[in-house]
Structure 1
Amino acid sequence: MKIIVPMAGIGSRLRPHTLTVPKPLTVIAGKPIVQRLVEDISSVIDEKIEEIAFIIGPAKKGFPSNTEENLLKIAKELGAKGSVYVQEEALGTAHALFCAKDSLSGPCVVAYADTLFKADFKLDSNADGAIWVKQVEDPSAFGVVKLENGFIKDFVEKPKDFVSDLAIIGIYYFKDGDRVRDEIQYLIDNDLRENNEYQLTNVLETLKQDGAKFIPGTVNTWMDCGKKDPTVDTNKQVLEFEHAAGNNLVSKDVVLENSEIIQPCFIGENVVLKNTKIGPYVSIGANSLVENSTIENSLIQSNVEISNANLNNAMIGNHAKYNGKYTSVSIGDYTELT
């Protein structure tokens, strides 16, 4: 089994945080989103993961020079071969996947690094593939599926009129990755675009018309990391899951001076808390200083200095400095608000 992770998007909806760090590398409760994604997939699939292939964007879109090194380390820690490909130009979901064509073979899970999830993957060997879905209130913003007799009948991209409320969350299983690769090659060779992009839903539709049978998979929890507020909420949910599993995410070397931590929280290494109340649902990255503050339900990255703050539903980037009375702030890396 292979895992293929397209993650080349610039994450414009999460700016300013994605101006310096690509969205899939944004840290949630101590780990980058993409690391949590592949760890979750690996933990629920009862098969050996042979390879994890990542499709990233070019350096000019903000992908740091050490991105490949870090991704290969994630794959190695899961006992898999790591591969990294670059999508130089954003030309759609199918094009992103095709950038990893050398890895797109055999049975594979494709997971776009936009969301996190909690689910039980049960791969049906009688089906040609599975598309994981979640019931949503407003399906017009998503690709959706229509079902018939337990199989997927139609794929509809962002329907203006209601056809289904089962949104495609961006996680797929393909029994035959070679077949998917060949269909994408056909799209590209014949320049078959939709809204000037090569879409994976078009590939799925062609495969279905050729007789492929796709079944829906459902997730128990779907956590969005697209915008600031949903990302802060995702941090909260991940902390809840970690705490329920009995995992202590507070570093042993945290310095507490007249301060209190209310679980669940993630507190990184070399963090100093002075006259401060932290939690619940707060993540603070390594080498940070917080003093004379009260913080809850917030996502704070590393090397941050915060003082005289009362924060709730806040997201603060790396190397930022904050001193103020605003509560629900969103400031990026290397920003000073004093």
Structure 2
Amino acid sequence: MKIIVPMAGRGSRLRPHTLTVPKPLIPIAGKPIVHRLVEDIAGVINQEIEEIAFIIHRSFGAPVEKDLVAIAEKLGAKGTIYYQDEPLGTGHAIMCAKESMSGPIVVAYADTLFRADFTLDTTADSVIWVKQVDDPSAFGVVQLNDKKEIVDFVEKPKDFVSDLAIIGIYYFKSGETLRSELQYLLDNNIVKGGEYQLTDALENMKQKGMKFVPGKVDEWMDCGNKNVTVDTNNRMLNFLHADGHNMIATSATVENSEIIQPCYIGENVVLKNSTVGPNVSLGDNTTVENTTIKNSLVQTNSVIKNAKLDNAMIGNNARFDGNFTTISIGDYSVLE
């Protein structure tokens, strides 16, 4: 099995945090989004992962590429880097990794996390992972027949046709078939809004009689902007805590401070005269002093003093000294 991860977009809605770090590498409960994503996929498909192909923008740089290859290697897989330098759509992005599209593959967009407990139907030509939602009009949805097979894809339906939203993770029994269908779009310049769309290839495959089935997830967590990313961090901390994970590093120093679970406390974190939690992630080498902080995500090597923070997101190498209650600070920012 191979996993293909298109992630060339920087994540403009999450600025300033994505000015120096691509969105898929933003940590959630101490681990990059894309790392959690591929781990969870590996758990669901319950098969050996041969290769993980990451499709990035060339400007991400060598350190990012090294981190991504390391993520693949931690799962016992080969890590491969491909480039998409122009935003030409989902279909085009996947085709940037065409050399890796052989055998069974999973395509997963690296801006979402999930929790699921289902058995992958490897007899189907494709499995499209979906989540039941309250407002289907905001999503692309799938329509099922009485055999629970997918018979239609509808983008943001004005009238109700289904409440099963497509979350952006797909299984294909044959990577070669998907590659052929996407190549057809490119060769014939089949575009919508100037972009080559994966859904057009899916529609062609369905018209040829291929079997599509849904894979339902229990939880679907977005990382699109600051508020939803902080919320996703909160939810992930609760899931991990309920699963019995210890998320406090033994190298952390706690002086006259209280930690209210669930929290992630990274390596060499220092807490002084502070109350931390619930729902707080503190990255490695961060110092928190004379502060109350809850429902917040702080990355690495930052210093927070004399603060009362809630629903905050603070980047790497930041310094904050103040009395604000909600804030979003990018990398290398200083507020004193």
The answer as to whether partners of 2:29 and 2:237 remain within 8 angstroms in 1 is yes
The answer as to whether partners of 1:17 and 1:317 remain within 8 angstroms in 2 is yes
Please provide the CA RMSD for this pair: 1.2
Q: Tell me how far 1:139 sits from its aligned partner.
A: 2.5
How far apart are the structure 1 equivalents of 2:156 and 2:193? 12
The answer as to whether partners of 1:225 and 1:234 remain within 8 angstroms in 2 is yes
**Pairing 1:144–2:141 present:** yes
**Residue 106 (structure 1) aligns with:** 103
Instruction: Within 5 Å, give how 1:4-153 maps onto structure 2.
Output: 4-59=4-59, 63-149=60-146, 150-153=148-151
Q: Unaligned 5+ residue runs, structure 1?
A: none
Aligned AA (2:216): T
**Residue 256 (structure 1) aligns with:** 254
How far apart are the structure 2 equivalents of 1:256 and 1:295? 15
**Pairing 1:280–2:272 present:** no
Q: Tell me how far 1:141 sits from its aligned partner.
A: 2.9
Aligned AA (2:71): I
TM-score, normalization by structure 1: 0.96
How far apart are the structure 2 equivalents of 1:18 and 1:125? 36
The answer as to whether partners of 1:296 and 1:312 remain within 8 angstroms in 2 is yes
The answer as to whether partners of 2:6 and 2:108 remain within 8 angstroms in 1 is yes
**Residue 300 (structure 2) aligns with:** 302
Aligned AA (2:213): I
How far apart are the structure 2 equivalents of 1:112 and 1:162? 26
Q: Which moved more, 1:121-130 or 1:184-193?
A: 121-130
Q: Tell me how far 1:113 sits from its aligned partner.
A: 0.5
Q: Tell me how far 1:293 sits from its aligned partner.
A: 0.4
Q: Unaligned 5+ residue runs, structure 2?
A: none
Match for residue 204 of structure 1 among 202, 205, 216: 202
Match for residue 215 of structure 1 among 189, 213, 216: 213
Q: Tell me how far 1:230 sits from its aligned partner.
A: 1.1
**Residue 241 (structure 1) aligns with:** 239
Aligned AA (1:214): F
**Residue 190 (structure 2) aligns with:** 192
How far apart are the structure 1 equivalents of 2:280 and 2:161? 39
Q: Give the number of equivalent residue pairs.
A: 335
How far apart are the structure 1 equivalents of 2:114 and 2:247? 20
How far apart are the structure 2 equivalents of 1:195 and 1:160? 20
How far apart are the structure 2 equivalents of 1:125 and 1:251? 39
Q: Tell me how far 1:130 sits from its aligned partner.
A: 0.6
| Secondary structure of 1:222's aligned partner | strand
